Structure 1
């Protein structure tokens, strides 16, 4: 065989091995980043059903698809380029930007709790008579996509922190794959959750007694499940928002609040023995949620006072 062809084949083999190694790095990065972001993914899945409940069954899946498309756009067209640019040229700006997003999540969660406790409602809600269904649906989708943007930013930031040693192209591919996989998983799960009552109705009409019993059980359980998920979603906004702020303060050289939260976590974990992993995490989540609730309530009060002041001025 001519020596030139042998050299060419050797070069091709080297390139192939390098490409395989790069793919291995990307796969490892996706797995590591996805596992680290699991907590925020669960929060995202808990928050989203609250934006869909109350609509007619035929509108549920189209609304979820609209939100999912917004989530893909958030991750791939907005956050991915920003994350790569910031990591390359201005990495110190990532933490303050995330903290602003965390404060927004805390504000949304605190406002929902204030409304549940009898505070003034802001904007049309499902408890009110809806005058324009199309406009209301658009507002709900917009709100869901806006909240998804904050949660997606946290997911992408966590993923970026886990793959910082990769090349720029490797980071881009890994972040894109993480974004696609997580969005598909979250909104697939949300679609399954909100359509379980339809599954129950279908089973209840089946001839077999076991199918009918399962269907009736689903029909009875799903309203409570959706209500519970709505509450979890509200609390998730607080603990994720508070957690982002605590971590951000620590990154910016103010570790005191985060150290207090971690001290509570370790104390609860040590006191509960074998259950320490779960109870310690719950303790930290509660501490983060309290931080989020306090800060979010302050922001909500300021926003509402400013809005009332503008109304009086006009």
Structure 2
């Protein structure tokens, strides 16, 4: 009996070690997958604050909380089952779907840039647009619905990138990792968004209620927030081009098309060798962003042509 008990304890200890190792593997894979999706996360954090701009300060955090809950619902209820079904039954479709999402990111980034220099729209609809509803509850609901729809697109790309990172792991590990990535990224993105949105209120409070030592900091925060929000818009655009271009370039290599991936890699290696390894990654990211701008620019110029053709028909 004692020998059997000791053997059982040894088995339990071995299982505990195996479980601990699996948890470590899952944690490491979740961190890696989250890092891979960093560019989309940056864009998500840069886009979301505009949804609460102009609303009452006391409603900003509740609205961000509801958007965050919608984001969790997008990831866990809609996207997670779809990702697992894709992994189980059609893993070959992951690369084309990633490239499609990458093309969308490139299009969004390029459209933001081209929109600053090229006229767009047909000039109709602005004068005929219906006035904004006066009901604050209706405005909030419309704001939340729009933000959650945008989050669905970005969350789909995040989940696809994370799934591609852990595609070689067992299905149960993929599920655990994707849940961890979903919760980690949602908490991180909307925590940062809440901080950004309330930064000017924090600065105003420090300026009006704080001691003389902290009032300059409060004044700095109040004056800096418009510039920070403008910088976030630029960072989000660059992140979309970098991630989208990188996804398409890598996808082409996976499908057996070496251009322009080999050229980007060679240029990055040359820069890395010349700078003692300091700027190799930066060169690769910059060239991927350029590729994304070219791809997105082409799509942004083609889409209006289809719209005009459909209008004529």
TM-score under structure 1 normalisation?
0.82
How many Å separate the matches in 1 of 2:142 and 2:101?
Answer: 20
| Matched residue, 1:194 | 197
| Matched residue, 2:223 | 220
| Matched residue, 1:283 | 283
Deviation (angstroms), 1:5: 7.1
Change (3 A) 1:250 1:11: same
Change (3 A) 1:142 1:99: farther
| Matched residue, 1:248 | 251
Change (3 A) 1:140 1:272: farther
Report SS of the residue matched to 1:210. coil
| Matched residue, 1:184 | 187
CA displacement 1:119-158 (0-9 Å, x = unmatched) = 2259999xx9973477776666555444444443443344
Change (3 A) 1:166 1:152: same
Change (3 A) 1:59 1:251: farther
Change (3 A) 1:86 1:197: same
How many Å separate the matches in 2 of 1:195 and 1:85?
Answer: 40
| Matched residue, 2:169 | 166
TM-score under structure 2 normalisation?
0.83
How many Å separate the matches in 1 of 2:117 and 2:139?
Answer: 23
Aligned residues: 308
How many Å separate the matches in 1 of 2:140 and 2:298?
Answer: 29
Q: Which of 233, 236, 243 is the matching residue for 2:236?
A: 233
Kept in 2: contact 1:200–1:214 (CA 8 A): yes
1:65-84 matched pairs, under 5 angstroms: 65-84=65-84
CA displacement 1:71-101 (0-9 Å, x = unmatched) = 2123222332222222222211001001111
Change (3 A) 1:132 1:258: farther
Report SS of the residue matched to 1:243. helix
